[in-house]
Structure formats: C-alpha cells, structure tokens
C-alpha cells in the first residue's frame, strides 16, 4: 500500500446525525480517491485527498462525448464492528468490461481494490450503523483531455467517492408498481447495454419520468430489436417465478450483468431451486399470468438488493397483480440471505465478503 | 442584450500564428459563455467570462449519468470582414429536441442565439482567415447537481466555447475509405440517435477504432433492428447517387437530423435533382454497385461539410470502389455551393446566413 499517498482533511465535515433519515447519494464523506491516467505513463499517482471540487477544462472530453464509466458497491458495518465489502472483485472485473467497450484503458483490478479498501478504511467512521444503511461507494472514470472531436481520450481520472445511504427505495421492501415500456428502448445488441456507462442512464430518464407521471415506480425494459423480450426493470435485473421455476433474461449483450443477479442465481441454485437464464417475452409472461402461474417477480441490484414487483402494466390494458401485491417467499428469502451475508449476520458460505483492514 | 454580463480577460492568449496548420478542437479562445439553470428560477445569469476551468463536484451528475447535450456550428470570416453564422436557429431548435429527449429543461432559442452572437463578436479576432478555416462553436449543456441516483438534475450549465479550426479531415475533400459496421450499433429507434447527446459518441468509439486499425477512416452505420438499413457515416449523414437519383436515409428516430443534410437536400432539389429520403439497405446499395448504378457517395456535416466516399468495404468480401475513388460532380458542387454561402462568396438565395453584429 506504500504507493497510495494520503492527505487527510483538516476540516472534517459533521456526519449525518439521524441515520434513520439518510437519503440516497446526497451526502459525501471527507475524502476521495484519485488515480491519474496519462498516455504513455499508464495509471499513476494514486492518492486519497480531501473531498472537493474537480477543476475540469470546459472542453474536457467527458463533458461532450460521454466517455465515462462507473461502478456501484457498498461498505457494510457488521455488528462486531467489521467493515465488509460484497464481491468487490466482481465490480472491478465489470469496470474493465465497461472500459473495454468504451475504449478506456484497463485498470489493474487488484491494485484498484487495494486503493478502494484503503479509502474505505480512512472514511470508515462514515459507515452508518442503523438498519438497512451502508456506505455507498462510487468508483468512476472520466475522460479529461480538453479536445473537441470524437476520439478516445489520452487522459483519464479514476475516482472513488462515497456516500452514507439509507434504502434506495423509500418504500423499502414494499412491492413496486412497474410500467412495461413499449416506446423507449434502453439498449440494443451491438450497443453498450452490458456496461455501466453514463449514456445508458441519461437515455433512460424519459421513460422513467413518463412512468412516474402515471404513478409507476419504474419501467420494465423490452429488447430494442423485437420489442418483446424482457430485459431489465429500471436499473435492476429482473426475475420471475413461473410455475415453480425461476426465470431471468440471459445476458445477451444488451443487459447489465448484475452482481446481485449473479449472487441471487447462485443462492437459489444452492437452495435446490430451478433457475433458468433465457429469453422471456412479455407475451409469455402475460400468458403465464393468465394461467395463474406467475407466482413472483422481483428486481435485483446493489442499491435496493431485492425489489419485489407487485403490479405490472402492459399496454395500459393488461394489468398483472402479482402475489396479491405482497412480498413473495423467494424475494423475502433472497433479501434476508443477501443482506444477512452483506451485514455479516449470516454465515458467508460462498466466501463473498471481504473484510476491510 | 442588456442582460448578458461581460467580464473581459486580463490576459489574452496568443492566437495561432500559422493558420494553415490549425488542427480541430485543440485551441480555445479567450472567453466562454455560461448560463445557469436552477429549478424554480429557470435559465439565468447569462455571462461571458474569461475561458477557464470549471469547478465541478465529483458527484456532479453529468460525470456519472451522462445528462449532457451539445451542438456544433461555425463562425466564418467573409472576405469583406463580416462574420457569418450558418442557419444557427436550426442548431438551437435541435438543441431543444435533444433537451426534450434527455429531460433537460428547454432553452429560449432566440435568447441563446443572442448570447452566442455576443460571444462570437467578443472573440471575433479568433476567427481565422486562411482558406477552409473557421471558428468552431460548441454550445453544450451539462447536469451539475452533486447527486448519485438516476434522475434528471435540477441544476444545469449551458455553455459555449470556441476553437479556431482547420479542416476536420486532414485529407480534405479527398474521398475516404469506409468500413460497413456489422458488429456494433450506433443507435436504435426508441433510443437517442436523433439527438446530440454525449453517450451516442462514446458508444461509437470502439467501431471507429476497429475500422481505423483496418485502415478505414470511418464506419458506415447500419440500423440496430434489422442490421441492414444504412443510417449514417461516422458522425455525418450519408447520401448516395444511384442511377441519377439522390437517396439519403429518412429520419426515422435513430438518425441525427443534420443541418448540412437538410441544406444539401434543399440545394439539390433547387438544382432540379431528384432527392429521395427513404430506407436504403446495404444489399440494395451493393446491388446498385454491381449493376454499375452507384455513381456517388458522400457524407455531410458541419465539421467536414462534404466528405466524398471513395471506397466501401462490406463484410470484408464486398468492396465497392465508387466513382474511381474520385470526387464526384454532385459532391464537388455541393461543397462549392455550401462553403461559398458559408464564407459569403456566393449569393445566399435561401437566407441561410446570419451576420454577427
Ligand atoms: C442497468 C443496471 N442493471 C442492473 C443493475 C444491478 O447490478 P448490481 O446487482 O451489480 O448492482 C444495475 C446497478 O448496478 C444497473 O445500473
Ligand atoms: C451523429 C451525427 N450525424 C450527423 C451530423 C451532421 O450534422 P450537421 O450537418 O448538423 O453538422 C453530426 C454532426 O453534427 C453528428 O454528430
């Protein structure tokens, strides 16, 4: 760790007083991690410095051409005081997948994780202790050369910032109402849907807003080619229990490979459940509903962990009320098991957690 | 104009000495235009200030979720000293189209154009005079709230920066070699292809790089659904002359409505040529080539104006050499007419140019 410079803040900020009132992503800790990339030199000068504004040239390429990727993960405070990360290696692996697609130079996954752990240990007092709270960690990379003209940049910043957070959905584990999106498309094969790049999120806003106006929490995305295969729900992966079998869309290039998704699949298979990754059309889902076979539906993601879906609206005429709008047993069990492992309350049989020193 | 504050630089930068050596988008003028947006207050505090770095919170939403749109236009120096803009109203109209899709509040098109003209008049000495040079203007909007979590921002900056530029393609009007892209997709209906938003450009880099490695200047994009209809060429619109008729892909939602495209169509129709906007498949194009009917191909865009295509590679086996790799008569005539109007050398029958006071 000798090559990570540390400059501690001289004016620590007050920490949130009432941890039960924490929102998501509005408050930031005392420090941030920065690593520079310069063509020829590679990634260099890893440093932890006081949290503060970046000085960016107005022509910085990230502000024009969106060469930006990010990750999302959490640090959890266990009852015994340990600080836990959940499968962080997976985040850095995925970051490099995003990097490759976006023409950003790869990072050294092990070294970046080491930097991140060091950063978390320095701001460890910011990890809240109230139930369902954690420290959200946001690694991201931005292209910073001042240049107009479409090409990959030569200078980048890798950064990690952190925010103490409460639950992502104020509704908590309450089942949400979802609108099946038929006008807008999130991603298409050959595009960037399998990466965490900025443009995937800005392009999704409009659908999200139109759904909110109709009183839906989020949208269910369909594929961009045939406009019928289910892809994701909002910014989560999606699962359905149909006639006893768990089905989730296969990762075909337009879907983000969620770490919660992967973990949920492994857990459920470990419980002896049948889990199938395949294409699932909205017609097939509606048919299963009509036949009384659609037993559960839920989204998975780092922010909300598990988000049960209680109600689906397809084309304003087909309404599916799933499991009477209540949390299903699989959703509940996954939520308990995943959060149990994440907060160190349940035995970590799979070796998923990393304890920050 | 009374409500545009101006703070002139105290340390003007040296201007490029050899205008024949100007590159594209690397040098910036002495000033920049900024207008703030705050929820509740609207766009406010238009000001022209010395060019310099922006101070952005590392959680500024544009760095994570890509809520960013831009425009590209030029200021031209006429022989009689006048400073001309080319159809700038169209840029602000398109900016608002992009804004709408990206959930960014609309701008007052007339007022923003007024601000831009004021800015250009202040940095007018930066407009180069050498042939084929101009001052590239980059209006852009970025979301600046510090917040993690996918939603539209509440605070934005509208800015204009400017760069004295030489020709976009160092090759000049020389016909370029183009690779028909069959792996990557630029945009899909239901997405953001018709807007100028950051994410469209970052997602296109990889195809561009792979084409460059094979010694092609750019790619020809096919549609994301059937993967056969021609959409654009690099960051330009594309035209073909087949058996005497000009054909260009219709604006179906995944193609940017270029201002050069629009102007080229109007000019050619004014010359009595048959111009058709419709879907054109790569198979149909290859067939026309085989039948000896593919007479010309060219791209259109603000940066390069007209870029003749001399060579198309489809699937590594189908090579199309167009017009013997030479500039065709329509490409040449459009280039002469458009640049003639833009630099004020040719009568502006359509009333396209705006003289900056
Ligand atoms: C588009 C999208 N899908 C799915 C996910 C879930 O991924 P993970 O479980 O790794 O958080 C996320 C969030 O990270 C996402 O942004
Ligand atoms: C994707 C794309 N297509 C086409 C164009 C051409 O548009 P215009 O003629 O308005 O410059 C541009 C450049 O602005 C572009 O970025």
> What would the mean pLDDT of A338-349 be, rounded to a whole number?
97
* DSSP category for residue B249: -
The answer, yes or no, to whether residue B2 has pLDDT greater than 70, is: no
Quote the minimal CA–CA distance from B355 to chain A in Å.
25
Cα gap B249→A242, rounded to integer Å: 43
> What would the mean pLDDT of A91-110 be, rounded to a whole number?
98
Q: What is the DSSP string of A244-283?
A: TEEEE----SSS---HHHHHHHHHHHHTT--EEE---BHH
Look at A102-106, A127-131, A351-355, B109-113 and tell me which has the smallest mean pLDDT.
Answer: A127-131
Confidence of residue B167 (pLDDT cuts 50, 70, 90): confident
The alpha carbons of chain A give a radius of gyration, in whole angstroms, of 21
Q: Of the candidates A57, A56, A101, A202, which has an alpha carbon nearest to the alpha carbon of residue B196? A: A202
The pLDDT of residue A110: 97
Look at A2-16, A287-301, B88-102, B266-280 and tell me which has the smallest mean pLDDT.
Answer: A2-16
**Quick check: CB of B300 below 6 Å from ligand 2?**
yes
Classified as helix, coil or strand, B3 is: coil
The pLDDT of residue B85: 98
Domain boundaries, chain B: 5-165, 176-342
Classified as helix, coil or strand, B81 is: coil
CB of B36 within 8 A of CB of B157? yes
The pLDDT of residue A167: 77
CB of A204 within 8 A of CB of A210? no
B147 CB within 8 Å of a chain A CB: yes
CA distances from B1 to A244, A329, B83, B111, B333 (A): 69, 65, 18, 9, 39
Tell me the CA–centroid distance for residue B157 and ligand 1, in Å: 28
Please calculate the CA angle B338-B344-B347 and round it to the nearest 5 degrees.
75
pLDDT, greater one: A191 or A171: A191
Cα gap B246→B322, rounded to integer Å: 15
Which of B59, B192, B224 comes nearest A161 by C-beta?
B59
Structure tokens at A105: 């130079």
Task: Label the pairing between strands B305-314 and B176-180.
Answer: parallel
Element (H, E) at B232: strand B230-233
The pLDDT of residue B173: 81
The pLDDT of residue A172: 66
Would you say the ipTM is above 0.85?
Answer: yes
Which of A28, A54, A202 comes nearest B56 by C-beta?
A54
Q: What are φ and ψ of residue A151, in 5° steps?
A: -160, 165
Helices (H), ranges, chain B: 62-65, 88-101, 109-122, 198-202, 205-213, 259-270, 282-290, 329-342
Which of A12-26, B112-126, B162-176 is the most confident on average?
A: B112-126
The pLDDT of residue A1: 44
Whole-model pTM?
0.98
The answer to whether A191 contacts B185, with C-beta atoms less than 8 Å apart, is yes
- Tell me: the pLDDT tens digits for B282-295? 999 999 999 999 99
**Quick check: CB of B204 below 6 Å from ligand 2?**
no
Q: Which residue matches tokens 């109203």?
A: B89
The answer to whether B63 contacts A198, with C-beta atoms less than 8 Å apart, is yes
B26 CB within 8 Å of a chain A CB: yes
- Tell me: the pLDDT tens digits for A240-266? 999 999 999 999 999 999 999 999 999
- Tell me: the pLDDT tens digits for B308-335? 999 999 998 899 999 999 999 999 999 9
Q: What are φ and ψ of residue A302, in 5° steps?
A: -55, -45
- Tell me: the pLDDT tens digits for A109-130? 999 999 999 999 999 999 999 9
Q: Of the candidates A121, A155, A136, which has an alpha carbon nearest to the alpha carbon of residue A38? A: A155
- Tell me: the pLDDT tens digits for A271-316? 999 999 999 999 999 999 999 999 999 999 999 999 999 999 999 8
> What would the mean pLDDT of B104-128 be, rounded to a whole number?
98
The answer to whether B150 contacts A201, with C-beta atoms less than 8 Å apart, is yes
* DSSP category for residue A323: G
The pLDDT of residue A2: 54
Mean pLDDT of chain B: 96
CA A140 to mean position of chain CA atoms: 12
If you take atom 1 of ligand 2, which residue's CA is the nearest one? B235
Helix/strand/coil percentages in chain B, nearest 5: 25, 30, 45
Interface test with B, best of A52, A180, A202 (most B CBs within 10 A): A202
Residue B305's region, left for phi above 0, alpha for psi from -120 to 50, else beta, is left
Q: Of the candidates A86, A91, A89, which has an alpha carbon nearest to the alpha carbon of residue A69? A: A91
The pLDDT of residue B170: 64
Q: What is the DSSP string of B266-317?
A: HHHHHTT--EEE---BHHHHHHHHHTT-EEEEEEEETTTEEEEEEEEEETTT
Ligand nearest to the CA of A219: 1
Q: Of the candidates A57, A73, A206, A219, which has an alpha carbon nearest to the alpha carbon of residue A144? A: A57
Report the atom number in ligand 1 closest to the C-alpha of A237: 4
The answer to whether B54 contacts A57, with C-beta atoms less than 8 Å apart, is yes
CB of B155 within 8 A of CB of B165? no
Q: Report the pocket of ligand 1 as residue ranges, CB < 6 Å.
A: A 72, 196, 232, 235-237, 256, 258-261, 300-302
Q: Of the candidates A34, A129, A104, A119, which has an alpha carbon nearest to the alpha carbon of residue A73? A: A119
Percentage of chain A with pLDDT > 90? 94
Rounding to the nearest 10 degrees, give the CA dihedral for residues B284, B286, B288, B294.
120
The pLDDT of residue A262: 98
Task: Label the pairing between strands A31-38 and A42-50.
Answer: antiparallel
Which chain B positions have a beta carbon within 8 Å of A101's beta carbon? 203, 206
For domain A5-165, the question of CATH label 3.90.1200.10 is answered with no
The answer to whether B201 contacts A66, with C-beta atoms less than 8 Å apart, is yes
Which of B51, B59, B70 comes nearest A28 by C-beta?
B59
Task: Label the pairing between strands A245-248 and A275-277.
Answer: parallel
CB of A102 within 8 A of CB of A194? no
Please calculate the CA angle B215-B217-B221 and round it to the nearest 5 degrees.
110
**Span A176-342 CATH architecture:** Alpha-Beta Barrel (3.20)
Quote the minimal CA–CA distance from A217 to chain B in Å.
12
The pLDDT of residue A170: 65
Residue B89's region, left for phi above 0, alpha for psi from -120 to 50, else beta, is alpha
Which chain B positions have a beta carbon within 8 Å of A140's beta carbon? 63-64
CB of B301 within 8 A of CB of B237? yes
The answer to whether A189 contacts B224, with C-beta atoms less than 8 Å apart, is yes
The answer to whether A184 contacts B190, with C-beta atoms less than 8 Å apart, is yes
Q: Can you list the pairs that A240-243 forms with residues at least 24 positions away whose Cβ atoms lie under 8 Å? A: A240/A280, A240/A285, A240/A288, A240/A294, A240/A296, A240/A297, A241/A294, A241/A295, A241/A296, A241/A297, A241/A328, A241/A330, A242/A285, A242/A288, A242/A293, A242/A294, A242/A295, A243/A288, A243/A293, A243/A295
Look at A70-79, A344-353, B13-22, B152-161 and tell me which has the smallest mean pLDDT.
Answer: B13-22
Report the atom number in ligand 2 closest to the C-alpha of B237: 4
Between positions 160 and 199 of A, the ones with CB within 8 A of B are 161, 163, 168, 183-185, 188-192, 197-199
Pocket test for ligand 2, best of B139, B218, B236, B253 (most atoms within 8 A of CB): B236
Sign of the torsion formed by the C-alpha atoms of B153, B155, B158 and B161: negative
The pLDDT of residue B316: 83
Size of interface A-B (CB pairs under 8 A): 225
Quote the minimal CA–CA distance from B37 to chain A in Å.
17
Classified as helix, coil or strand, A223 is: coil
Which of A163, A185, A199 comes nearest B202 by C-beta?
A199
> What would the mean pLDDT of B33-62 be, rounded to a whole number?
97
Does B176-342 match B5-165 at the fold level? Answer: no
CB of A334 within 8 A of CB of A199? no
Percentage of chain A with pLDDT > 70? 98
If you take atom 1 of ligand 1, which residue's CA is the nearest one? A235
Interface test with A, best of B32, B64, B155, B233 (most A CBs within 10 A): B64
Which of A56, A138, A199 comes nearest B198 by C-beta?
A199
Which chain A positions have a beta carbon within 8 Å of B103's beta carbon? 202, 205-206, 209
The pLDDT of residue B1: 44
Mean pLDDT of chain A: 96
Report the atom number in ligand 1 closest to the C-alpha of A94: 10
CB of A48 within 8 A of CB of A7? yes
- Tell me: the pLDDT tens digits for B190-240? 999 999 999 999 999 999 999 999 999 999 999 999 999 999 999 999 999
Ligand nearest to the CA of A73: 1
The pLDDT of residue B3: 87
Q: Of the candidates B28, B6, B37, which has an alpha carbon nearest to the alpha carbon of residue B142? A: B37
Quote the minimal CA–CA distance from A211 to chain B in Å.
13
> What would the mean pLDDT of A35-46 be, rounded to a whole number?
97
Tell me the CA–centroid distance for residue A264 and ligand 1, in Å: 13
């Amino acid at each position: 760790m000798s090559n990570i410079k540390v400059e501690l803040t001289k004016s620590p900020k007050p920490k949130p007083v009432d941890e039960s009132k924490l929102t998501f992503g509005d408050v930031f800790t005392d420090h941030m991690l920065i690593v520079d990339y310069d063509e020829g030199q590679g990634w260099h000068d890893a440093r932890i410095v006081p949290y503060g504004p970046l000085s960016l040239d107005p022509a910085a390429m990230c502000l024009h051409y969106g060469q930006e990727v990010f990750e999302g993960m959490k640090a959890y405070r266990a009852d015994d005081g340990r600080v836990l990360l959940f499968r962080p290696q997976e985040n850095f692996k995925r970051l490099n997948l995003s990097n490759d697609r976006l023409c950003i130079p790869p990072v050294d996954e092990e070294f970046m994780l080491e930097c991140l752990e060091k950063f978390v240990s320095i701001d460890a007092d910011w990890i809240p202790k109230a139930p369902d709270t954690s420290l959200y960690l946001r690694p991201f990379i931005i292209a910073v050369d001042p240049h107009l003209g479409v090409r990959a940049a030569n200078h980048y910043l890798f950064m990690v910032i952190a925010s103490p957070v409460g639950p992502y959905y104020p509704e908590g584990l309450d089942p949400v109402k979802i609108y099946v999106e038929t006008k807008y498309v999130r991603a298409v094969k050959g595009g960037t849907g399998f990466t965490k790049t900025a443009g995937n999120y800005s392009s999704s806003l409009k659908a999200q807003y139109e759904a909110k106006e109709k009183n839906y929490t989020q949208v269910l995305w369909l594929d961009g080619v045939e406009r019928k295969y289910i892809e994701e729900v909002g910014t989560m992966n999606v699962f359905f229990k149909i006639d006893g079998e768990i089905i989730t869309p296969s990762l075909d290039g337009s879907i983000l490979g969620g770490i919660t998704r992967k973990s949920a699949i492994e857990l459920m298979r470990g419980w002896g459940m049948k889990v199938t990754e395949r294409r699932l059309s909205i017609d097939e889902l509606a048919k299963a509903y009509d036949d009384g076979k659609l037993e559960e539906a839920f989204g998975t993601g780092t922010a909300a962990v598990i988000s049960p879906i209680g109600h689906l609206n397809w084309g304003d005429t087909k309404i599916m009320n799933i499991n009477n709008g209540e949390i299903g047993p699989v959703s509940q069990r996954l939520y308990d098991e995943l959060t149990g492992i994440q907060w160190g309350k349940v035995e970590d049989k799979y070796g998923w957690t990393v304890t920050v020193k």
